[in-house]
Structure 1
Amino acid sequence: MTKLKKEVPVAKNDKLWLTIEDMTHDGRGVGKVDFYPIFVENAIVGEEVEVRVLKTTKKFAYGKVLQWKKKSADRVEDIDSDLIRTGIAPLHHMSYESQLAFKQQQVEKAVKRIGGFDNLEVKETKGMDVPFKYRNKAQIPVRKINDRLELGFFRRNSHDLIPIEDFYIQETAIDEALISIKPILENYNVKPYDEEKQTGHLRNIVIRKGHYTNELMIVFVTKKKKIFKIGEICKEIVAAVPNVTSIMQSIHTENNNVILGKEFVTLYGRDYIEDQLLGNTYQISAKSFYQINTKQAEILYQEAIDRAQLTEQDVVIDAYCGIGTIGLSLAKQVKHVYGVEMVEDAIEDAKKNAEINGISNVAFEVGKAEVIFDKWLKEEIQPTVIIVDPPRKGLSESFIRASVEMNPEKIVYVSCDPATFARDLSIYNELGYTPDYVQPVDMFPQTSHVECVTVLTK
């Protein structure tokens, strides 16, 4: 029997009117034609919009707003469409109150649909007083456009650079530094990288800023090691940009989308900057993982620490410990902290940061957590609390089972992805660890990302 091919009800370049019924996890509005969803940038639930269809697939289409018949009360009118098109700030057409509500709803949907929790409470999202100019790190592509060196950001799902000077969500000093650096690079005829032709030299500029110290690190990501007149370039940058304490070169010879290369050269100053987080001082290198939003990271970590209800008798394991920020933040409240992390450089940084802050009741080990957990079990190390803060892919089932084998009283889960968070909570629940409630924290205002914290108890 021949299966009938289902017709797509719209075609590319069609114009049609839609009522926006929902929003995707990445902040696009959703309207439907005969149950066929069309995802529309810069559209909010409740709006009636005329849309031009940009692309169709068997299951959904993408569209662009041409005009509004009805606008949402949550809409912000004074927006820069480039910030939406590049994905830098895809929600900045929404009022901040509605952004926080949207993120709470995304977490609620995930824990119900993916996690299977019908009655798990999700609190209101903890937001920022000033929800822009918060990023302490920028990774800016460098390309040639109309024979000029340009800095900007790629259009979403493409490698077409849109030149930008005000990135809206980066700390002001970073945007000002980029504006100062650009003419210096042009004056010395630094060649931007051309992805298609595999020519040119400068691929990206990465800038890190200490939120409290104001120290700046500038990293030039280059195709080759040699940079013509780099000494003179560095001198001019240091003269033009306040608070530069480090200029680094990252050599990236491979043809891929990874930002940093594997080889680093110190061109000026130190190979790190310093910053503070919850009262501790941290050395941050070019490749260190350090939370992008320092103020909200303090709120996120304090939420995790408070929810754990720590005592002086507690033994804590900080899984995915990175450079030690969570473990060192709570070390003075507990008996001992054990940290584990796959990245050797991060563990070296964690040990250094413990020493800088005079914290001695910590031990950091390199390795896969499941393997290190087994080692600690044999050494009769008994944690009362395990804290996990994994990347977006969440936890592996083998990690979850290994953490349960450690038999802690509590597992504090800090997440940056509601979908994998909900999936993992479901597995923990089956193994006897139940979440109390979920607290979303807005680490990335104007974007669709949201962090969560919950505590699982036996």
Structure 2
Amino acid sequence: MFAEERLTNVATPLWRFSYGEQLKVKSESQKKVLQTLASHLRELGTDKLEITQRPDGLCCSLRTVVPSPVVNGYRNKSTFSVNRGPDGNPKTVGLWQRNIVCVRANHLENMPKKHKQVAQCYEEFLQQSPLDPCLLFHQGGHWRELTVRTNSSGHTMAIITFHPQDLSQLLCGEPYIFEEVLGLKFCISPDAFFQINTAGAEVLYQTVGKLSRADKNTVLLDVCCGTGAIGVSLAHQASKVVGVELVEQAVEDARWNAAFNGVRKEFKILCILQQWIS
């Protein structure tokens, strides 16, 4: 039980507080960061700038944290390691702690039940497998990691990291998972980034859209755009959305997502750079 509580403290450090209290803690943390930044600006001789003359000591205005409509079981992606558990079992599927002990995550409230079920099934499978886990690459072994993705429709994607990597990429099922955000449909590949909290992402995109005040004279730059969810969601407001991404598969997802959701696009690829014109 001690190991589980220690994992909870690491994975969800504010779990003892109510959600409202958590938001207050995060807001105070952000306030301290901005106060520190303002102090550094004054030290650099920029004290005459208006941003450092605010009565609250901040370098800019700090808005109230926008709460997520979902606070429990919200994760649409969870990554589990395979390593030695508190009982010494080398095929334990869970999350690492500092002393490299792998603890099952069944008690974490931010993780949905489906993710925990897949992790449990994976561990049961490993117990029956004659192959050893790959705890350290130079020591050999095979079973390495499990990533689970789910969407709001209840579909599940399981991504297994196996060493050596000489198997075909897709073992069974579909190669992608799809999610809907603000009435738009997004294709998500195993390695592509997508916001962990889907409901929270909708609030985020709407808030960014309002604060940016983007219009037909605006070019929006989406750095590390992943599947292009933010850019595609805001494309109707701006004249152009430029997305920059390093993961090639995510770029392909972003292209498909832009086309499928009716965003007219022209591609200028330099390294891996994508440009959409709405």
Shorter chain as denominator, the TM-score bin is 0.7 to 0.9
Contact 1:311–1:334 under 8 Å retained in 2: yes
Structure 2 counterpart of 1:198, from 136, 139, 145: 139
The SS at the match of 1:337 is strand
5 Å-filtered alignment, 1:114-193, equals: 114-116=37-39, 117=52, 118-119=57-58, 120-145=60-85, 146-147=88-89, 149-155=91-97, 157-193=98-134
Structure 2: where are the runs of 5+ without partners? 40-51
**What's the CA shift for 1:225?**
3.3
Q: Are 1:83 and 2:14 matched, yes or no?
A: no
Letter in 1 for 2:232: L
**What's the CA shift for 1:362?**
5.8
Deviates more, 1:356-365 or 1:325-334: 356-365
Q: Deviations over 1:113-171 (max 9, x none)?
A: 1244424332222223442211111110112443462112111x332222333332112
CA distance in 1, matches of 2:225, 2:154: 25
Letter in 2 for 1:350: A
Higher strand share: 1
Contact 1:167–1:175 under 8 Å retained in 2: no
Sort the Cα spacing of 1:345 and 1:196 in 2 relative to 1 into closer, same or farther, 3 A: closer
Structure 2 counterpart of 1:25: none
User: In the comparison of the two structures, how many residue pairs are matched?
Assistant: 254
**What's the CA shift for 1:291?**
0.9
Letter in 1 for 2:119: L
CA distance in 1, matches of 2:235, 2:133: 46
TM-score under structure 2 normalisation? 0.80
Letter in 1 for 2:5: S
Deviates more, 1:97-106 or 1:304-313: 304-313
Contact 2:155–2:177 under 8 Å retained in 1: yes
The SS at the match of 1:291 is coil
Hey, which bits of structure 1, 4+ residues long, moved more than 4 A? 361-364
Structure 1: where are the runs of 5+ without partners? 1-79, 227-248, 250-263, 377-382, 384-458
Structure 2 counterpart of 1:298: 202
Structure 2 counterpart of 1:225: 165
**What's the CA shift for 1:368?**
7.8
CA distance in 2, matches of 1:277, 1:364: 26
**What's the CA shift for 1:267?**
0.7
Structure 2 counterpart of 1:354: 258
CA RMSD of aligned residues (A): 2.7
CA distance in 1, matches of 2:157, 2:107: 19
Structure 2 counterpart of 1:412: none
CA distance in 1, matches of 2:161, 2:72: 26
CA distance in 1, matches of 2:266, 2:137: 48
Higher helix share: 2
Contact 1:339–1:362 under 8 Å retained in 2: no
TM-score under structure 1 normalisation? 0.50
The SS at the match of 1:122 is coil
The SS at the match of 1:121 is coil
Q: Are 1:111 and 2:34 matched, yes or no?
A: yes
Q: Deviations over 1:182-228 (max 9, x none)?
A: 22332234422233872321111111112x232211111112136xx
Letter in 2 for 1:321: C
CA distance in 2, matches of 1:197, 1:335: 51
Contact 1:193–1:202 under 8 Å retained in 2: yes
**What's the CA shift for 1:314?**
3.5
Contact 1:331–1:362 under 8 Å retained in 2: no
CA distance in 1, matches of 2:256, 2:146: 27
CA distance in 2, matches of 1:194, 1:333: 48
Letter in 2 for 1:84: T
Structure 1 counterpart of 2:15: 92
Contact 1:341–1:365 under 8 Å retained in 2: no
CA distance in 1, matches of 2:172, 2:199: 28
CA distance in 2, matches of 1:193, 1:315: 46
**What's the CA shift for 1:276?**
1.3
What is the aligned-residue identity percentage?
A: 26
Contact 1:339–1:363 under 8 Å retained in 2: no
Sort the Cα spacing of 1:319 and 1:365 in 2 relative to 1 into closer, same or farther, 3 A: farther
Sort the Cα spacing of 1:180 and 1:368 in 2 relative to 1 into closer, same or farther, 3 A: closer
**What's the CA shift for 1:331?**
1.3
5 Å-filtered alignment, 1:66-81, equals: 81=5
CA distance in 2, matches of 1:178, 1:131: 21
Q: Which of these two proteins has the greater Rg computed from alpha carbons?
A: 1
Structure 1 counterpart of 2:269: 365
The SS at the match of 2:82 is strand
